[in-house]
Structure 1
Amino acid sequence: MNAHRFATHSLTDLRIFRILSAALEAVDPYSAVKKHLPRITGNAHGLAIGKASIPMLTALAEAIPLSSALAISKHASGLNSSLFPVLLGGHPVPNLDSLRAGERALEFVAALSENDTLICLISGGGSALMTAPHEGISLEDMQTLTSLLLSCGARIDEINILRRQLDRVKGGGLARATRAKVVSLILSDVIGNPLEAIASGPTVPDPTTREDAIAVLKKYGIEKNAPVSIVDFLESGRLLPPFRKQAPGVHIIVGDNELAAQAALEQAGREGFSAEILTNELQGEAREAGVVLAKRLREEAARRPRPFCLIAGGETTVTMRGKGKGGRNQELALAAVDELRGLENVMLVSLATDGEDGPTDAAGAVVTGETRQRAERLGLDAADHLSRNDAYAFFDALGDLIRTSPTGTNVNDLTFLFVI
């Protein structure tokens, strides 16, 4: 991996490049699958779903003879995908390609027999990339609901409660649609690795109910704005066609946020930093998390010997208040600007491990003690940009957006607090 892909105006330290690289390399999806290859007897078939689907399925296809294979991804780039067909879907909002991918996935697994083994390679993003709504619910309904949920600050696990209730392919839908034995290799992008929440659990029974889904709508006050067809479906108790009973499957986590953070911790030690993982469960509003982490950095800078590195993993949320552009990592970083002003040799780096922070071309952003002063010289006000959810424009003007391009992996976010 090119360590210099993390470079910004403020971030030029090769030691930090290597720490960030170590985190992503530890959760490289190709290597992760190679390390967790299942033992298979009989005919094997590979179905990969999510942002990391192509490298995951490539690793499997190179190691195990597959009778058939299919990948559903956001990007066609990455490793050689000539070994299998690739379908592209929409993300974070499903599109017509997502609908086609969902129907194709159901056809793929339904064609298998009890003598076959279906190896599902699951990674984050699968919920949007593949969809097959229940009868009476349109793609447009799902798009409207998804946009509402993404803008109101709902957590990914809450969003996926609704998706599982409304979609034939989620909440174990893939596993119920096949007679084959099912083995799932999972790259987790959900805090705590709840299997039913990762890509909405296509091979895992749904532990939640329609009442739980309605509760999410009410929690965020969007039940009146949600499509009528969806609210009626959830409230009606309408019976669904009987499902084939889902046989117990095998589910293996091949990589997660904790693994990435641990690799960064170990690399920081090799670079001469004292290091500590603060949490792998960072969540809540991004702007609030940014202030909390910046205060922690200020406090630790006053008492710890240098250099040191603190690491926080997880996934925050953004409640849209303005019409600006950004992502949760950029907003977290923007909220830290005023708190870190004037501090010497400090740096906050926050990035999405998939390289895509919100609907932008940036993975995240960098803040130092000089960021506010540099911004003021350019006529930029951090508080104003934060009020408009416009972190992207702020950091773009400063040259402190991290642009890695899509990394091929996806294990939530990582925020690093450095004192150098």
Structure 2
Amino acid sequence: MAGKDENSAPLPPMDSAPGQRFAVAGTLVTEGEQLPDAIVAVDGDRIEFAGPAAVFAERDDAGSYAGIPLDDDALLIPGLIDLHCHGGFGVDFSTADDVELRESLTRHYNAGTTTLLASLMAAAEDEMLAAAERLSPLVAEGLIAGIHAEGPFLSAARNGAQPAAALRDPDPDFVEELVATCQGSLRTMTYAPELPGADGLVEQLVSHGVIPSLGHTGATAEQTTASLELVLEELESAGFDGYTETPTITHVFNGMPPWHHRSPGPVGASLEAAALGRAVLEIIGDGHHLHPQTLRMLFATLPPTALALVTDATAATDMPDGDYRLGGQQARLKNSVLRTDNGQLAGGSATLLACVRACVGAGVPLQRALTAATTVPAAILGLEDEIGALHAGYRADILVTDQDLGLITAFRSGQAVGATRS
């Protein structure tokens, strides 16, 4: 196993699946730091130790942890956290039944995403409510961290793959019904700030503990800035903690007018807010939604706390070329790019671990890419003391990868959920 010096006691081998107490060794990569010669030890569903192998070897109980043989170059990283996910592996979260939802979630876990928000497409009221009703029990079970509603209060001019017929101005009555149907599990909602009633929507969402996420918008820079300031004021007055006092931007650059030096629009205003620590930008890091140079620019110019890596994953994620359901419509996947019939990008087809690999391949430092897929989204969810890092007491969500971020083994709450190379 990787990460042992001559003073380290060898871990007893593990011949079968992990039981109550086990340990993995390698290079620990968490919270922007790397620690070679490290061990992560798990007791039940919690991390009991994460640190130097030599320190662990000195413990009286070190021999009680079964060891999992790994390659010498293994990396130990936190389970990944996706704030924006519409489905995957042939399943669309907005339309799937309970069996399909569970199968898709299991495959996301197997692929390294151990925590996610299930995102709803904009749709007719009854369809969105029915989807929320199917998803909310899975939140109660701990299978998903909550629900993200992408709409329906979005700009028809910047709808992307969102069905234009389903988009409308903010409706307080529908918001109340959606919140009630989600049974406390609605965590974020994407909205366009230029729509009539958007300010009232922000206030209403925050009053229910829902984070407004600005996106799919044609707003001016001035409108964007004013709305972000309102969200900040509402979140702060409501007593949200950590990064949850900061507005989020739904997949910056996508679903927005291009950034122009004389008309900065929502992109320019969002970049400024993020640089000042007053917004967190979702970025789809699959190599298709943003040019590699754009990815490098964002990571090079913005602070680590300003970026959250997301997939915008769809039913086409990790699937072969073909037609896939996207809410109430169809989209076609070809060469890893999903588009509607009119040529619009229609969400992602990559897992979050694949997005991390794409960012690293574009020249983003590994530690920065992982921070955007672990620490930052954990804090957005208010779970920064539970997930997103490898520390004693945290939930045992652990990925073991090779140096190229190929997945060797994944654990969720201390249970092996994936043991493939991908």
TM-score after normalising by structure 1: 0.28
TM-score after normalising by structure 2: 0.28
Ranked by relative contact order (alpha carbons within 8 Å, sequence separation 6 or more), the top structure is 2
* Bigger proportion of residues as strand: 2
* Bigger proportion of residues as helix: 1
